[in-house]
Amino acid sequence: MELSRTLIEWQRLHGRHSLPWQGTRDPYRIWVSEIMLQQTQVGAVIPYYQRFMARFPDVQKLAAASEEEVLAHWAGLGYYARGRNLHRAARIVVAQHKGAFPTDFDAIQALPGIGRSTAAAISAFAYGQSRAILDGNVKRVLTRVFGIVGWPGEKSVENQLWQLAERLLPASDIETYTQALMDMGATVCTRSRPRCGECPLLSACIAHREGRAGEIPAARPKKVLPKRAVTLLLLRHGRDVLLEKRPSPGIWGGLWSLPEMQGTPELSCQQLTGATYKHLRELPVFQHTFTHFHLQIQPLEMIVPALPLVANQPDRIWMDVEEAIRAAIPKPVKNILQACVD
């Protein structure tokens, strides 16, 4: 189709060609990049990807690692279920596919954390299979070019977009075409201030022709996010802090975090350490926003006079604060700990 060929030619001249996961047919490297790029911008992903691949260069290394170590290399990227699913999927590939990443589309999509669009991207880039992708960038390009109204997350709109994406697939150069769609949405047909003057599809774009690029695609229907509050306890003895592993699944599942206060500060300290604190200080309250709610965090710093043993508690540990900052901890907790050493 003409649109597909136009995009392919544009990508060869103006698209991105030097990203660290490009220029390879290795499905493992492609898979890791696609998972990291879910809901995260390229610029933020690159350093994490490079560190992750240096530590886990193949699926066997990833499968053999502990979840804690994997999450330590994921910490800061957010959406930690992606890291846990990546680890689970690696172990499935080793156990059920003899360490060879599957080539069958349905087998790829059956792995934890891989949906239809991600499976299609892996199939296209690793195996040259003709599969349609439909991530957020592609939805934006297609809705604008074809003037499709409505929120793309709505099922009827999404189904329409999938049918369109399938129909537009080129007969050849699927890898270049797939990358072109991604590059268009990321660099030209952006969410705000699209660079329409640089768009190779400008003459065909209905949204531009009708002056509606700012309205299409329609935004997610607004809803008021609920608010929750939590008090996190920064229990300290010298340079050591007490960390507690979060249950999985759940918020920050599998990560080390500061314990939540249960009851009074005195009772919580006694239950967690078997000791009483000698100093209590309220640190500044701040808010962290998740997809479905706002979390108001009140950190309480408690100094304990001696380092109580954490006996028979595999999910609690005393750790040097600088070592803790490098561990698998959520970003809000990392910010609290960094304030201790700044």
Give the integer Cα–Cα distance in Å for 283 and 336.
Answer: 9
Q: Answer for the pair 323, 256: CB distance below 8 angstroms, yes or no.
A: no
Q: Answer for the pair 87, 67: CB distance below 8 angstroms, yes or no.
A: yes
> What one-letter code names the amino acid at 330?
P
Q: Answer for the pair 317, 324: CB distance below 8 angstroms, yes or no.
A: no
Cis-peptide, bond into residue 217, ω within 30° of zero: yes
- 240 forms beta bridges with 237, 320
Q: Which of 2, 34, 67, 68 is catalytic?
A: 34
DSSP states of 224-285 as a string? PPPEEEEEEEEEEETTEEEEEEPPSSSTTTTSEEPPBP-S-HHHHHHHHHSS--SEEEEPPP
Q: Answer for the pair 11, 180: CB distance below 8 angstroms, yes or no.
A: yes
Q: Is 210 tagged catalytic? A: no
The helix (H) or strand (E) run that includes residue 294 is strand 294-303
> What one-letter code names the amino acid at 311?
A
Residues across the chain: 342
Match 């060609």 to its residue by tokens: 17
Active site residues: 34
